[in-house]
Amino acid sequence: AMSVICQRALPDVRDGLKPVQRRVLYAMQELGLSADKPHRKSARIVGDTMGKYHPHGDSSIYEALVVMEQDFKKGMPLVDGHGNFGSIEGDGAAAMRYTEAKLQKFTQEVYLADMDKNVVDFQSNFDETEKEPVVLPVRIPNLLINGAEGIAVGMTTSIPPHNLSEVVDGVKAYMDNPDITTEELMEYVKGPDFPTGGIVVNQKELRNIYETGSGKMKLRGKVHFEKAKKRSERDKLVITEIPYTMIGANIGKFLNDIASLVENKKATDIVDISNQSSKEGIRIVLDLKRDADVENLTNMLYKKTKLEDTFGVNMLAVADGRPETLSLKQVIEHHVDFVFDVTTRKYTTLLNKEQEKKEIQEGLIKACDVIDLIIEILRGSKNREQVKKCLVDGVTEGIRFKGKSSEKAAQKLHFSEKQAAAILDMRLYKLIGLEIEAL
């Protein structure tokens, strides 16, 4: 139960990803599938993920990859897919041997940047042959932006997707004022932003949902009336946005529900139903009789079909290694702390690199000033160790010098270990005037 909860079904509050998603993205980066490269077969990505990091069934890995590509499920799709990755109407994706994928530019820059700068901890994989990141250095609160759903043991998580720019504004507001209230945060994050559109009916309850981390949202599809332009045409009731819960087989079920309402003579005003949805978006058209009671019909659709539905929110995520139901503010708080940590580690690493470089360069500049002495030491020594001891501690035993003055000068040398190693690895061409200038 513990491993299902912490290492499988629930996302981590820091990067908002479940282990399988994190591993797929990391495997894609390791394969070099950046946004400017060609797509690669999904089977190759799944194989790498399964063999290196995720020793579970290939179907669960491929499903995770597919969901990260679907723009009708995710606020910001993380994978750029080629081929049939399923549709909003519930058609499954093609088999992984047919589809291809690579990373989105957004994913590369916001989820996987700076991985080489020691920004996150790495752990051994299942057979200790590879290293994998414990968490990805995600720069936005992905838990809110892409939402999450997962069934663990004795607990489930269900977080709706939110609008990227609203959430980022909320994060900025929290940084300016860490004592901000949920109500003030909701001036920026007004509510969920489902990729399928729709309307949240019970907006008054949103504040309570965001404060406690759980509750029920009532979602409605968007319906509008189109008047007939010619006598030969009919008035239409058009549904252009659907509740998020209707994705998949529920669209077909919705059409069947309307058909049975007509058959049972409950919705006598409907003459014809057609689903004209396309790549451009949802468009379900109901042709009406003349002088139909539109308002009455719309209300009936909300009442009797899935055009109005509830979305249960339960903002459960793994925080500090244990599952916790979080409020909107807590999610942002955890994320800001994490980004602060990542950024601190990044600049500490960069600073250390620069300081090492500085130390070596200072050593080489110093060496150029006494190069004749160093050459004398090199020619009079028997091995590398002897030279190193002389450069670092000024030990001159066993080294043949041309004169006493050279030996005295050699005893005063004080290079650091790293500088001595750099001097011994130095090429002769570094002694050209311009090269010394460059140092």
Assigned token pair, 266: 């409950």
Which residue in 160, 148, 155, 211 sits closest to 183, CA to CA? 211
Residues 196 and 340: beta-carbon distance below 8 Å:
no
* Strands of 27-99, DSSP E: 40-41, 79-82
Which amino acid does the sequence have at 205? E
Instruction: Look up 210 and say whether it is catalytic.
Output: no
DSSP character string of 8-36: IIS-BTTT---HHHHHHHHHHHHTT--TT
Give the integer Cα–Cα distance in Å for 410 and 296.
100
DSSP character string of 92-153: PPPPTTT-EEEE-HHHHHHTSTTGGGT-S-EEE-TTSSSEEESS---SS-HHHHT-EEEE-S
Give the integer Cα–Cα distance in Å for 16 and 191.
18
Give the integer Cα–Cα distance in Å for 307 and 198.
9
Assigned token pair, 201: 């009916």
CA distances from 387 to 368, 373, 391, 394, 416 (A): 16, 12, 6, 9, 13
Which amino acid does the sequence have at 153? V
Give the integer Cα–Cα distance in Å for 216 and 218.
7
Residues 318 and 13: beta-carbon distance below 8 Å:
yes
- End-to-end CA distance of the chain, in Å? 59
CA distances from 4 to 10, 51, 153, 170 (A): 8, 20, 7, 32
Assigned token pair, 401: 């010098």
Which residue in 97, 79, 73 sits closest to 21, CA to CA? 79
Assigned token pair, 112: 């996987």
Q: Strand, helix or coil at 388?
A: helix
Assigned token pair, 187: 């001036």
Q: Strand, helix or coil at 383?
A: coil
Catalytic residue among 26, 53, 62, 98: 98
Residues 361 and 439: beta-carbon distance below 8 Å:
yes
Residues 180 and 164: beta-carbon distance below 8 Å:
no
Which residue in 170, 180, 213, 194 sits closest to 317, CA to CA? 213
Catalytic residue set = 98
